Structure 1
Amino acid sequence: MRSAVALTYSVPQRLVHWLMAALILFNLLFAEGMEKLWRVVRDGGTPSVDQVSAANVHAYVGIAVLALAVLRVLLRLAQGAPAAPAEEPPLFRTAAKVAHASFYLLFFALPLSGIAAYYFEIGGAALPHGGPLKLAMWVLIVVHVAALLVHQFHWRTAVAQRMTKG
């Protein structure tokens, strides 16, 4: 077991991070299949095979994100995470902790609300899933990338390398 103050992320942690990033971006960018299906069903129509297939792809990707989120938590508990760079001001350290906790919350809330809406037909889950939770994920991604750029070009820390080269 690694200490909680690892110098870098392990290879499995990095692989899970980038795989989740790709899957989450895919579902954020290509959610229209699920949205079209819901509109057809809401309007009393019968969805086409293509519409159901597109919605299923979105659902399966979301389930994969959920499974990877569980793996990610287990890896983090077992292997720890690097400490914040000394150059990072305390306020930004706190903001980073809040942002990362929010990411982890969304890693579970988005897929679970999607599963509730799609598989269990809990209509009240669809609105937060496609509305505020989706928006929160987009905001966090933008803030995450902006923070990475600040680390790279303003504070000149090796934060980016911890999740790329190790």
Structure 2
Amino acid sequence: MAEALLADCLERPLPSADWSECLAELAHRMRAALLGRRDGARVYAGTHSTGRHTLGFADTLIGVLREADFAPDDAARAALAVVHFTLGHTLEEQAALQIAGDGPADPDRLRAAVTPAQYPHLAPALPVLTSTDFAAHFTFGLRLLLEGLRATGPGPMPPPTGS
């Protein structure tokens, strides 16, 4: 089932020669594919499929980055970052859309719990935090990720630190 979710992601050619536009397009296609099935993100998460759709999608992601002169290790890590961001965002989106009116993510409960006196920074952010404009949230986060990759630039990045 997880393998079938990505079946249509590579049917159309990528619309641009710019690597960041290609990555954005692939992330949007993956999100759309996961949203196309109830619990699609949950079904896909953690499967580590080795089928042709999953491997073809991964090869295309890494290929876009390699053609932009990212080192192989950096291209792999960047591809993982795009996939993990897309998957995590879509998991949260699908969960939020399935929650009944008084569930844990109910926006009215959050609005009632957050007072400007107690949470002076959180209160003015509530319109965005309680928004169901998931496409805008996704686009913003993806833009941050792509701008970070652009800022580090193609070529070898410093090795990751930590464990």
- TM-score of the superposition, structure 1-length normalised? 0.31
Higher relative contact order (CA 8 A, sep 6+): 1
